[in-house]
Amino acid sequence: MDTIGPRGLQQREGALGCPQEGLPSPSESSELVQECLQQFKVTEAQLRQIQASLLGSMEQALSGKASPAPAVRMLPTYVGSIPHGTEQGDFLVLELGASGASLRVLWVTLMGVEGHKTEPRSQEFVIPQEVMLGPGQQLFDFAARCLSEFLDALPVGKQGLQLGFSFSFPCHQTGLDKSTLISWTKGFKCSGVEGQDVVQLLRDAIQRQGTYSIDVVAVVNDTVGTMMGCDLGVGPCEVGLVVDTGTNACYMEEARHVAVLGEDRGRVCISVEWGSFSDDEALGPVWTIFDRTLDQESLNPGAQRFLAILQETVMLLAPECDVSFIPSVDGGGQGVAMVTAVAARLAAHRRLLEETLAPFWLTREQLVALQRQMREAMAKGLQGKPSSLRMLPTYVRAIPDGSERGDFLALDLGGTNFRVLLVRLASGGVQITNQIYSIPEYVAQGSGEQLFDHIVDCIVDFQQKQGLSGHSLPLGFTFSFPCRQLGLDQGILLNWTKGFSASDCEGQDVVYLLREAIKRRQAVKLNVVAIVNDTVGTMMSCGYENPHCEVGLIVGTGTNACYMEELRNVASVPGDSGHMCINMEWGAFGDDGSLGMLSTYFDERVDQASINPGRQRFEKMISGMYLGEIVRHILLHLTSRGVLFRGQQIQCLQTRDIFKTKFLSQIESDSLALRQVRAILEDLGLPLTSDDALMVLEVCQAVSRRAAQLCGAGVAAVVEKIRENRGLEKLTVSVGVDGTLYKLHPHFSRLVEETVQELAPCCEVTFLQSKDGSGKGAALVTAVACRLAQMTRV
């Protein structure tokens, strides 16, 4: 007869009892053995080819592409998190299908990483043959009776028990607690179960039993249980591997890569189902004649080939990955209990997170009420009545008409850095040259004389560098602090903000203080024509390009708005015709307590810790200077409740202003994967898990969304005021906007615009981003003033 030799080589065998011709000598036998064994040696190139093929099949299956059929299934298990060591409590586990014709019930007590480890209690029940082959209801009723019998022997209550269900049969899982049986295996053939949700069948049986109140939290396969049940002592385990009578793997995948989920954030455990890998002949180059013979004689020829050639080659093929293999002691029991515990932890943390963030999710009714309150405060402020909105006249009576020409200086003071600019207006457009100067903290918080002397020194330095020494150019002064203007070139500082506290300035005319500093510096010629708020400058800058621009908005370190009001409505300025730009100083809106219904515990904490408690309440809920602090206080609260960072106090969270506006803009970017969000947070010194990163992201989203909605409600109040002033059914108006939060945050501008559209449907509002409102705008205010003065002289 013929036998199979190396690579299919045929050898002849003689008749029984007869000498066999060609019988190999001992040396030839050794060569033959070596030739056979040689087939099982796999080169590094072949392994890398297999690695690439498997990776390609994984990516194809994750993407949802059905053709050609992927060689691995990549099934989402809906396990969204791994243990982080704080899981505690008592959990039931029911194992069905893991050990043939029996089921096992376990009672697992988790004590956390630091707690005393206890051995799970378990009991195995033999499933009668008639139950394995009978109606499905009979099987699940049997399981429910086993659960009750097991629990009867334990000193436990009858309510609030949480169960993890290990169901080791082919299933299509659509949720952590939803799994449809595809087909029975392992000798089971219960009717009425295939195509049904096995979790629901178990729940129905438990309810029929009626003895215990048991919540089936999760359904899990053994591979996931292996990953979840590994010892946390060496670090987080994110891959599960089973190599026994069969083989499979699972791992934590970015949810955005799993097409069937339709999620952009978070992670999910994927069951690779890699036993079937190479059904497409991807392993052909290393497939021996012995493998082919074994395959043909198996129950499922052509399937599950990978388990026959699995090799430990991780270090060779992935040298950049530091991988530890941790034997699972009881993946089925401990692991399933851990899945249940993690799900319970996440559910509890989710409830606490939603409770914490609920006040930040504003309803339409709340926004409409805010809009109405702002309209009322605007009317009172214009009439000179007590109001949290100062509604200050700026004495800017017109927007640019495009005919402005000439050279102008501009001084932009609104923070610890300020600019000096040379703005040239010509028929060909606007040319701007500028230089940034810093204001040391000791100057910003020193004397007023010291502050304005420093400013003039910087202007002189700029003039010298631009070859303008001795020239007297008109100068517009952008002064981004609350002022009461008595004229275009007269502005009384009401109070410092943004960390400034220079003495002898509040209550004084800042233009006068600047002019006095100019006098102290001999041989300096400067003609201060106008003092301008940065918000007004923004409106004027955009108005030079768009004649419909009649509103200015700043949303950056601080926030403010201005708009063109009918002069007849401004009680503090004589005249009934024409317009007047009103500086709302809306950062102070709500300082009279009217924002109490929207203010949260975290807003109060930020306000009390600020340099001006009780003031600028609207600004503290909107601007970039404060949003990061609101986020920080929320994170501190969630940490104290054990929701974040395993409940451990993180030192860097105690640091004020750790979260800058740039951070909020970065972390909420749609283009970032969760691992990149996590990297940004880790750079700040936060030792967090992926779950933590996702929650921090949600906190940032809630805080910035509320800020944008509040801002939008304010803009809606302004444009509705303009529309009603003019008796129009439909108003077309543009809003000039500046500020880093509005410009750089990935969603802020859209949310503002959506809110305005919803609250002011009769206004067609266009938002224009200013390229240099506080600089070019100040020059344009000066240029318009010069143009109007020239017209008056003529």
What amino acid positions are annotated as catalytic residues?
Answer: 419, 480, 534
Helix axes 364-382, 690-725, angle to 10 degrees: 50
Interhelix angle for 364-382 vs 748-759, to 10°? Answer: 80
- What are phi and psi for residue 703, nearest 5 degrees? -70, -45
- Nearest of 65, 276, 89 to residue 170 by alpha carbon: 276
CA gap 255, 263 in Å, rounded: 6
Cα–Cα dist 543/537, whole Å: 10
Please give the Cα distance from 137 to 148 (Å, whole number). Answer: 16
Calpha distance 753→711 (Å, rounded): 9
558 in Cβ contact with 738 (< 8 Å)? no
From CA 752, how far away is CA 748, in angstroms rounded?
6
Long-range contact set of residues 643-652: C-beta below 8 Å, sequence gap at least 24? 643/349, 643/352, 643/353, 643/695, 644/688, 644/692, 644/695, 644/696, 645/686, 645/687, 645/688, 645/692, 646/84, 646/85, 646/86, 647/86, 650/685, 650/686, 650/687, 651/685, 652/684, 652/685, 652/686
Q: Which of 157, 101, 146, 144 lies closest to 122, judged by CA? A: 146
Query: Alpha-carbon distance 745 to 281, whole Å?
Result: 50
- In the chain, the amino acid numbered 143 is A
Which of 311, 253, 288 is CA-nearest to residue 40? Answer: 288
Long-range contacts of 38-44 (CB under 8 A, 24+ apart): 38/6, 39/6, 39/7, 39/288, 39/289, 39/290, 40/288, 42/286, 42/309, 42/311, 44/316
CA distances from 611 to 93, 166, 419, 538 (A): 56, 58, 25, 27
Rounded Cα distance between 543 and 709, Å, is 25
For residue 787, CA distances in Å to 425, 474, 575, 784 come to 12, 12, 21, 5
Distance CA 783, CA 476 (A): 9
What are the Cα distances from residue 676, in Å, to 176, 612, 682?
A: 26, 36, 10
For 385, half-sphere exposure in the C-beta direction (CA atoms, 13 angstrom radius) is 7
Residue type, 594: S
Question: β-strand 178-181 against 171-175: which pairing, if any?
Answer: antiparallel
Residue with tokens 């982080």: 84
Question: What is the number of residues in the chain?
Answer: 794
Query: At a CB cut-off of 8 Å and minimum separation 6, what does 610 contact?
Result: 616, 620, 626
Q: Measure CA 572 to chain center.
A: 47
Q: Is the peptide bond before 68 cis (omega within 30 degrees of 0)?
A: yes
Take residue 280 and report the two structure tokens written for it. Answer: 């497409």
For residues 171 and 198, is the Cβ–Cβ distance under 8 A? yes
Angle between helices 690-725 and 674-683 (to 10 degrees): 90
**Cα separation, 694 vs 306, whole angstroms:** 36
